[in-house]
Amino acid sequence: MDGGMDIRTQRLVRFVGVQKTYDGEHLVVKNLDLDIRKGEFVTLLGPSGSGKTTTLMMLAGFEVPTHGEIFIADRPIKNMPPHKRDIGMVFQNYALFPHLTIEENVAFPLTVRGTAKAEVTERVRNALRMIKLENLAHRRPGQLSGGQQQRVALARALVFNPQMVLMDEPLGALDKRLREHMQLEIKQLHEQMGITVVYVTHDQGEALTMSDRIAVFNDGIVQQIDKPDALYERPVNSLVANFIGENNVLSGTVETIEQGFCRVALASGGSVVAQAVNVQGPGAATALSVRPERIVIVPDGAATDLANRLPATVQDTIYLGDHALAVLKVAGNGEFMVKLPPGAHAGLGHGQAVSIAFRPEDCRALDPV
C-alpha cells in the first residue's frame, strides 16, 4: 500500500505521549501515541467517558495537552490557534446558525476567512451539490430534517477545503436507518475527496463500517489500533474482544504453553487448546475468546475432526432471517452463542444435549475478565 514511499510524507497527525487531566489529578487521556496518515479515515471508538472527545479537542486546539506533543505535518501545534490548523469540524448537535439560511451557513467559514464573493458563491454551490441540497439553499435550519441539517454541517466543515475534518458522534441524534445511510454517504465523500477524517463514535458497528483504522479507547488508554477486520479477528485483550462484535468467553487456567498455543483447563472440567495471545504463563488465569461463527454444533455422539470439543446444552434459538443463533450453556457460561446457517436451528430444542467444536486457531487465550 505504501509503495515504498517515505512514511514521513504520508503521516499527517502524530500524538506523542499525550496526557490530559482537567482537575490536576485524574488523567482522562493517559499516554496517547497515535499516528494518522494523510487521507486516512481513523475512528476513535470507546464507551462514554473514555477520552475520545478530549483527544479530538486537543487536535482541534480547543483543549491543551497536560503532557506530550501533537504534530500536524511534522510541526508541533502547541502554539497554533485552532483557526490556523486547517481543520473542519462536525458535532452531534449540528451547531448550525438558526437565523442564517443554509447557503449562508455553508458560506460562513469562507466569509470569516475573507474569501472573495465570487469564489464563495462558487464553492457554496459545489458544496450544496455535493450533499444534494441545492434546492434548499434559501431555507433556514429549522425547516430541515435532522439528516438534512447534519449534511449541511458536513458541507460547512468541508467547504473551505481543509486538510482534515474531525467529527464527534455526528450521527448520534439520527434514527437507525438514517444513521446507516449517512454512514455510507460520509464514507463515499471521504473516498471522493481523499480528505483525512478523524471520527469519534461509541458505536462499534459504525466504526467497523466506515474506518480504515480504529483506535479502541477505554478509560483514557488506547487498547488497540488496527483495521476493522484485525480488531475483530485478532483482538489483543479481552476488553477489545468484548467491545467489538459478539464474543464468547470461557474462563480457565493455563496448563502448558508450546509454540504459540496453550492448553487451558476450564473451571468446570475439560480443557481447550487455544492461541496463547495474552497469557502470563502456566498457572495463570485466562479468558478464552471464540467468535460465534467459528463454532459448529455437533450432534451428540457424532464425530468431529476439530481439536476442541465441549459438551453443551441448548438454552434457546433465535431466528434472524439470514442466519440463526443458538444460545447454549457451555462450561458454566449460559449465554454462549453459536451462529448457524438459516434453518439450522429448527432441530434444536431447549434442554437438548449437544457438543460444540472449534479449532485452536479460532480460539484466543486472553487476559482474565
Ligand X SMILES: Nc1ncnc2c1ncn2[C@@H]1O[C@H](COP(=O)(O)OP(=O)(O)O)[C@@H](O)[C@H]1O
Contact positions vs ligand X (CB under 6 A): 22, 28, 46, 48-54
Query: For residue 101, which phi and psi values (nearest 5 degrees)?
Result: -70, 170
Where does 159-306 have alpha helices with state H?
Answer: 176-193, 204-210, 228-233, 238-243
Beta-carbon contacts of residue 205 (< 8 Å; ≥ 6 apart): none
The site partner of 204 among Mg ion, ligand X, none (C-beta below 5 to 8 Å per kind) is none
The site partner of 46 among Mg ion, ligand X, none (C-beta below 5 to 8 Å per kind) is ligand X
Nearer to ligand X, 21 or 304 (CB): 21
Question: Is 275 among the residues that bind Mg ion (CB under 5 A)?
Answer: no
Query: Of 260, 284, 285, which Cα lies nearest the Cα of 274?
Result: 260
CB 48, min distance to ligand X, A = 4
The site partner of 54 among Mg ion, ligand X, none (C-beta below 5 to 8 Å per kind) is ligand X
The site partner of 22 among Mg ion, ligand X, none (C-beta below 5 to 8 Å per kind) is ligand X
Nearer to Mg ion, 51 or 360 (CB): 51
Applying CB under 5 A, the site for Mg ion has a residue count of 1
CB 199, min distance to Mg ion, A = 12
Nearer to ligand X, 107 or 200 (CB): 200
Nearer to Mg ion, 44 or 152 (CB): 44
The site partner of 311 among Mg ion, ligand X, none (C-beta below 5 to 8 Å per kind) is none
Burial-class residue 84 by CB neighbours within 10 Å (0-12, 13-18, 19+). exposed
The site partner of 49 among ligand X, Mg ion, none (C-beta below 5 to 8 Å per kind) is ligand X
The site partner of 51 among Mg ion, ligand X, none (C-beta below 5 to 8 Å per kind) is ligand X
CB 212, min distance to ligand X, A = 20
CB 58, min distance to ligand X, A = 10
CB 367, min distance to ligand X, A = 22
CB 232, min distance to ligand X, A = 21
Question: Is 53 among the residues that bind Mg ion (CB under 5 A)?
Answer: yes
Beta-carbon contacts of residue 112 (< 8 Å; ≥ 6 apart): none
The C-alpha cell 496463547 sits at 276
The site partner of 156 among Mg ion, ligand X, none (C-beta below 5 to 8 Å per kind) is none
CB 220, min distance to ligand X, A = 7
Beta-carbon contacts of residue 209 (< 8 Å; ≥ 6 apart): 180, 183, 184, 187
Interacting span for Mg ion (CB under 5 A) from 47-55, 237-245, 332-340, 342-350: 47-55
Long-range contacts of residues 230-233, Cβ cutoff 8 Å, at least 24 apart? 232/208, 232/291
Enclosing H/E stretch for 317: strand 308-319
Grid cell locating 41: 479515515
| Binding residues among 11-30 for Mg ion as defined by CB under 5 A | none
Nearer to ligand X, 58 or 297 (CB): 58
CB 199, min distance to ligand X, A = 12
Nearest-5° Cα angle at 40, 35 to 42: 65
Nearer to ligand X, 27 or 284 (CB): 27
Where does 196-340 have alpha helices with state H?
Answer: 204-210, 228-233, 238-243
CB 167, min distance to ligand X, A = 12
Nearer to ligand X, 23 or 229 (CB): 23
Integer angstrom CA distances of residue 291 from 56, 157, 294, 357, 363: 32, 39, 6, 12, 8
Nearer to ligand X, 211 or 275 (CB): 211
Q: How far is it, in rounded angstroms, from Cα 36 to Cα 56?
A: 13
Nearer to ligand X, 65 or 141 (CB): 65
Query: Of 206, 179, 185, which Cα lies nearest the Cα of 131?
Result: 185
Residues in touch with Mg ion (CB under 5 A): 53
